C-alpha cells in the first residue's frame, strides 16, 4: 500500500539516521550491523557519500555512493552501492529524486559515470534504472574471498 508522501528533501546522512538506514536496508533483505552503518554514515571518507530522503521529519529513502578510480580510463567512477525507498513511499518519485541527487553528487565528486548492480530478480528496479537512462554495457561477476579461504 502506498501512502501520500509529503514534500521530500535529500540531504547527507547523519548519525541519528543510522536506525532508519538499517531498517531501509532490511527492506532489501540485508542485515548490516548498526555499528558498521554508523561508521560509514558518520565518518565516510572523501570517497563515500550517504544521502537520505526525508519527508515530514522521517527518513523515507537512502542512496550510498562510493568513488572508485579506474586506471584504464584515467578517471573516477562512482558506484551506487545502495538505493532504497521505504515501501509505503514507493512509486511516488522518491527514488527518482534520490537517483538525481546521487548523479549530482557523483559529478561533484569528480566521477565521469555512475554505475550500479542489482539482483537479477529485481525486475522493477531494472525498469526503474532503464527509465532513467541506465544501460547494461557489460557483465558483472563476483567471487567471495573469505579471509580463511583459498
* Domain spans in the chain, listed from the N-terminal domain onward: 8-131
Residue 61: CB atoms within 10 Å: 26
For strands 58-70 and 48-55, give the pairing: antiparallel
Q: CATH: 3.40.50.10190, 3.50.50.60, 3.40.630.30, 3.40.50.2020. Which one for 8-131? A: 3.40.630.30
Q: How far apart are CA 48 and CA 111, in angstroms?
A: 12
Q: List the pLDDT tens digit at each of the 150 positions of the chain.
A: 555 667 999 999 999 999 999 999 999 888 888 888 877 776 678 899 999 999 999 999 999 999 999 888 889 999 999 999 999 999 999 999 999 999 999 999 999 999 998 888 889 998 988 999 999 888 888 888 888 876
The pTM for the full model equals 0.87
Amino acid at each position: 500500500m502506498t501512502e501520500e508522501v509529503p514534500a521530500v528533501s535529500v540531504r547527507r546522512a547523519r548519525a541519528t539516521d543510522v536506525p532508519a538506514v538499517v531498517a531501509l536496508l532490511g527492506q532489501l533483505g540485508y542485515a548490516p550491523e548498526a555499528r558498521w552503518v554508523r561508521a560509514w554514515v558518520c565518518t565516510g571518507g572523501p570517497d563515500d557519500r550517504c544521502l537520505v530522503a526525508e519527508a515530514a521529519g522521517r527518513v523515507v529513502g537512502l542512496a550510498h555512493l562510493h568513488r572508485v578510480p579506474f586506471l584504464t580510463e584515467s578517471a573516477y567512477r562512482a558506484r551506487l552501492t545502495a538505493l532504497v525507498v521505504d515501501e509505503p513511499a514507493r512509486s511516488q518519485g522518491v527514488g527518482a529524486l534520490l537517483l538525481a541527487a546521487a548523479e549530482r553528487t557523483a559529478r561533484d565528486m569528480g566521477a565521469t559515470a555512475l554505475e550500479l548492480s542489482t539482483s537479477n530478480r529485481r525486475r522493477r528496479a531494472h525498469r526503474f534504472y532503464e527509465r532513467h537512462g541506465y544501460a547494461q554495457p557489460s557483465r558483472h561477476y563476483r567471487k567471495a574471498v573469505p579471509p580463511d579461504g583459498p
